[in-house]
Amino acid sequence: MIVETGHFALVLALALALVNAAVPLWGVATRDQRLMAVAPSVALVGFFLVALSYAALTYAHVTSDFSLVNVVENSHSAKPLIYKITGVWGDHEGSMLLWILILSLFGAAVAVSGRAMPRDLHAAVLSVQSWIGAAFLLFILLTSNPFARIANPPIEGNDLNPLLQDPGLAIHPPLLYLGYVGLSITFSFAAAALICGRIDAVWARLVRPWILIAWVFLTLGIAMGSYWAYYTLGWGGFWFWDPVENASLMPWLAATALLHSATVMEKREALRVWTIFLAILAFSLSLIGTFIVRSGVLTSVHAFANDPRRGVFILAILAFFIGGSLLLFALRANTLKPGGFFAPISREGALVLNNLVLSTCCATVFIGTLYPLALEALTGEKISVGAPFFNATFVPLFLPLCVVMPIAQNLAWKRGDLLGSMQRLFSAFACGLAAMLVLFALRGGPVISVVLAGLAIYTIIGAFTDLATRIFGRATLLKGTQAFTHALGLPRSAYGTALAHAGIGLSLLGLAATGWGAQKIMAMKPGDVARVGPYDVVLESIGPQSGPNYTATVAHMAIRSGGTEVAGIDPAVRFYPTRQMSRSEAGIKTIDFGQVYVGISKGDTAGSVDARLYWKPLVSLIWFGAIVMACGGLCSLSDRRLRVGVARRVRKVAAAAPQAAE
Partner 1 sequence: MTRKRKRLALILSALVVLGSGLGLVLYALRDNIVFFYGPSEVLAKELAPGTRLRIGGLVKPGSLTHDGMTVHFAVTDGKRDIPVTYSGPLPDLFREGQGVVAEGVLGVSGMTASTILAKHDERYMPREVVDALKKAGRWQESTGKSAGIGGGS
Name, in order, each residue with C-beta under 8 angstroms of 440's C-beta and a sequence gap of 6 or more: 450
Phi, psi (rounded to 5 degrees) for 324: -60, -45
Question: Does position 363 bind partner 1 by CB under 8 A?
Answer: yes
Q: Which residues from 283-312 bind partner 1, rule CB under 8 A?
A: 296, 298-300, 302-303
Question: Does position 85 bind partner 1 by CB under 8 A?
Answer: no
Question: What's the full length of the chain, in residues?
Answer: 662
Q: How many residues belong to the site for partner 1 (CB under 8 A)?
A: 68
- The least CB distance from residue 138 to partner 1, in Å, is 22
Stretch in the footprint of partner 1 (CB under 8 A) among 195-203, 309-317, 387-395, 420-428: 387-395
Question: Does position 173 bind partner 1 by CB under 8 A?
Answer: yes
Contact 647, 501 (CB under 8 A): no
Phi, psi (rounded to 5 degrees) for 278: -65, -40
420 CB-side CA count, 13 A? 13
DSSP-based three-state secondary structure for 151: coil
Contact 413, 342 (CB under 8 A): yes
- If we measure between CA atoms, which residue out of 477, 303, 472, 285 comes closest to residue 373? 303
- The least CB distance from residue 555 to partner 1, in Å, is 14
User: What are the Cα distances from residue 258, in Å, to 279, 357, 359?
Assistant: 6, 12, 10
Torsion of the alpha carbons at 9, 141, 218 and 197, rounded to the nearest 10: -80
Of 143 and 360, the one with the shorter C-beta distance to partner 1 is 360
Residue of the chain from 167, 197, 323, 396 that contacts partner 1 (CB under 8 A): 396
- Stated as kind and residue range, the H or E segment containing 557 is strand 551-561
Alpha carbon distance 202, 265 (integer Å): 9
Of 27 and 372, the one with the shorter C-beta distance to partner 1 is 372
Of 467 and 572, the one with the shorter C-beta distance to partner 1 is 572
Question: Does position 371 bind partner 1 by CB under 8 A?
Answer: yes
- Stated as kind and residue range, the H or E segment containing 549 is none
Question: Does position 484 bind partner 1 by CB under 8 A?
Answer: no
Alpha carbon distance 584, 602 (integer Å): 10
Question: Does position 383 bind partner 1 by CB under 8 A?
Answer: yes
Question: Does position 113 bind partner 1 by CB under 8 A?
Answer: no
- The least CB distance from residue 145 to partner 1, in Å, is 16
Question: Does position 165 bind partner 1 by CB under 8 A?
Answer: no
Residue of the chain from 316, 336, 447, 521 that contacts partner 1 (CB under 8 A): 521
- Going by their DSSP bridges, the two strands 609-616 and 518-524 should be labelled as antiparallel
Question: Does position 601 bind partner 1 by CB under 8 A?
Answer: yes
Question: Does position 352 bind partner 1 by CB under 8 A?
Answer: yes
Question: Does position 74 bind partner 1 by CB under 8 A?
Answer: yes
Contact 104, 46 (CB under 8 A): yes
Question: Does position 411 bind partner 1 by CB under 8 A?
Answer: no
Angle between helices 347-379 and 243-268 (to 10 degrees): 150
- The least CB distance from residue 345 to partner 1, in Å, is 10
Q: Which residues from 602-621 bind partner 1, rule CB under 8 A?
A: 604, 610, 612
DSSP-based three-state secondary structure for 381: coil
Of 52 and 297, the one with the shorter C-beta distance to partner 1 is 297
Of 187 and 238, the one with the shorter C-beta distance to partner 1 is 238
User: What are the Cα distances from residue 68, in Å, to 117, 147, 167, 549?
Assistant: 44, 6, 25, 21
Report how far apart the first and last C-alpha atoms of the chain are (Å, whole number).
21
Residue of the chain from 212, 542, 573, 631 that contacts partner 1 (CB under 8 A): 573
Alpha carbon distance 539, 528 (integer Å): 6
- The least CB distance from residue 219 to partner 1, in Å, is 18
- If we measure between CA atoms, which residue out of 569, 565, 571, 568 comes closest to residue 584? 571
Stretch in the footprint of partner 1 (CB under 8 A) among 134-142, 383-391, 429-437, 470-478: 383-391
DSSP-based three-state secondary structure for 25: helix
Stretch in the footprint of partner 1 (CB under 8 A) among 37-45, 165-173, 533-541, 545-553: 165-173
Alpha carbon distance 172, 158 (integer Å): 22
Q: Which residues pair with 575 in a beta bridge?
A: 551, 582
Of 384 and 476, the one with the shorter C-beta distance to partner 1 is 384
Stretch in the footprint of partner 1 (CB under 8 A) among 48-56, 423-431, 499-507, 579-587: 579-587
Of 391 and 545, the one with the shorter C-beta distance to partner 1 is 391
330 CB-side CA count, 13 A? 5
Question: Does position 418 bind partner 1 by CB under 8 A?
Answer: no
Alpha carbon distance 65, 223 (integer Å): 34
Question: Does position 599 bind partner 1 by CB under 8 A?
Answer: yes
Residue of the chain from 5, 360, 469, 551 that contacts partner 1 (CB under 8 A): 360
Question: Does position 333 bind partner 1 by CB under 8 A?
Answer: no
Stretch in the footprint of partner 1 (CB under 8 A) among 39-47, 115-123, 312-320, 575-583: 575-583
Alpha carbon distance 222, 626 (integer Å): 9
User: What are the Cα distances from residue 289, in Å, to 116, 131, 144, 443?
Assistant: 33, 19, 18, 41
Q: What is the DSSP letter of 102?
A: H
Question: Does position 338 bind partner 1 by CB under 8 A?
Answer: yes
Instruction: Detail the DSSP E strand segments found in 83-206.
Output: none
Stretch in the footprint of partner 1 (CB under 8 A) among 89-97, 131-139, 198-206, 549-557: 89-97
Question: Does position 388 bind partner 1 by CB under 8 A?
Answer: yes
Of 599 and 625, the one with the shorter C-beta distance to partner 1 is 599
Question: Does position 407 bind partner 1 by CB under 8 A?
Answer: no
- The least CB distance from residue 543 to partner 1, in Å, is 19
Question: Does position 392 bind partner 1 by CB under 8 A?
Answer: yes
Question: Does position 143 bind partner 1 by CB under 8 A?
Answer: no
Alpha carbon distance 311, 329 (integer Å): 26
Residues lying near partner 1 in the complex (CB under 8 A)? 73-74, 89-92, 95, 160-161, 163-164, 169, 172-173, 234-235, 244, 296, 298-300, 302-303, 338, 341-344, 352-353, 356-357, 360-361, 363-364, 367-368, 371-372, 381-386, 388-389, 391-393, 396-397, 521-523, 573, 579-584, 599, 601, 604, 610, 612
